[in-house]
Amino acid sequence: MTNTMTYQGYSARVAYDDADQIFIGHIAGIRDRIGFHADTVSDLRDAFHEAVDDYLETCAKVGKEPQKAYSGQVMFRVSPEVHRKAALAAELEGKSLNQWAEEVLERAAQ
């Protein structure tokens, strides 16, 4: 079971609150804190869409650029041995290290 929803390039993390018997969601990957909730999955989807639409509309009204989750640029450090192994694996597959790493990260993120 997946606990995420997507709409217009935004993703939301969803949980169920048994005490209040409602579904709660928060848009993930942006600094602005945007939440929504509903009693049913269908209503939760509508609330999520409304939250994203309201966010985009509010940004337009105040002249703010809406945040997008990620730029696509990743920088991180690994040990020289991991770097060597990754570069070798990429070369053996006939790919650049960036292409190889993107494919590995995509599989791992599934």
Question: 1-31, pLDDT tens digit by residue?
Answer: 468 899 998 999 999 999 999 999 999 988 8
Say if residue 11 is in the same domain as residue 55: yes
Question: 41-88, pLDDT tens digit by residue?
Answer: 999 999 999 999 999 999 999 999 998 866 778 888 999 999 999 999
* Amino acid letter, residue 43: D
Where are any strands of DSSP class E within the chain? 4-7, 10-17, 22-28, 35-38
Instruction: Please state whether 36 falls in left (phi above 0), alpha (psi between -120 and 50) or beta.
Output: beta
Domain tally, the chain: 2
Range of the domain at 94: 71-110
pLDDT of 69 reads 65
Question: pLDDT band at 104, cuts 50/70/90?
Answer: very high
Say if residue 11 is in the same domain as residue 43: yes
